[in-house]
Amino acid sequence: MTAEQPLTADLFEVDKRLSLKPVVDFNTYLLNAFGDGACRCSRCLAGTGEEAGYAHAHSFVLEGQTVHRRFANTAGSDVLLVLKKAWLSYTKAELTTVGTLDMDTLRAFVEPELRKRLAPLLLASGLAREVEGQWLLQAQAGD
């Protein structure tokens, strides 16, 4: 849709909270959490991209574009750290780190073109899982 870009810009001008540094940082983090192309870690290369048996996916197809998760900075605890800062900054309330994650609130401070990265990152990092349409935060015990 060609009208998407100007609309996005308008929305971001309306809500000043979206220019708060922790919120901007979270969006940048989301952008950098994935690299272009399929995962080329030794395990994926050895398995020629076959991810059967993986607890968490390495490669993702987001709207037709293949990307891979950058492991070095996307453990569940890493994601939680930046998410908590952005959440506090945007909502003025601490993120509840157990139970249901309010995806509507989360999506509200994520740039529209980055929203498709949320679910893959939450799942791949093990920070949350989706159960019957609800996102449940999971206790972080390493990755």
Residue 22 has φ and ψ, to the nearest 5°, of -60, -30
* Token digits of residue 96: 């509840």
* Token digits of residue 100: 């249901």
Other CB atoms within a 10 A radius of the CB of residue 91 amount to 15
* 108 counts as binding Zn ion under rule CB under 5 A: no
Q: Which of 44, 75, 88, 108 binds Zn ion (CB under 5 A)?
A: 44
* 58 counts as binding Zn ion under rule CB under 5 A: yes
Coil, helix or strand for 37? Answer: coil
* 45 counts as binding Zn ion under rule CB under 5 A: no
Find where tokens 């900075």 sit. Answer: 73
* 41 counts as binding Zn ion under rule CB under 5 A: yes
Q: What is the DSSP letter of 98?
A: S
Q: How far is the CB of 49 from Zn ion (least distance, A)?
A: 8
DSSP per-residue codes, 108-130: HTS-GGGGGGHHHHHHHHTSEEE
Which region, judged by CB under 5 A, interacts with Zn ion, from 28-36, 37-45, 78-86, 92-100? 37-45
Return the number of the residue (66 or 91) whose C-beta is nearest Zn ion.
Answer: 66
Q: Which of 23, 30, 33, 39 binds Zn ion (CB under 5 A)?
A: 39
Number of residues forming the site for Zn ion (CB under 5 A): 4
Residues of this chain that bind Zn ion (CB under 5 A): 39, 41, 44, 58
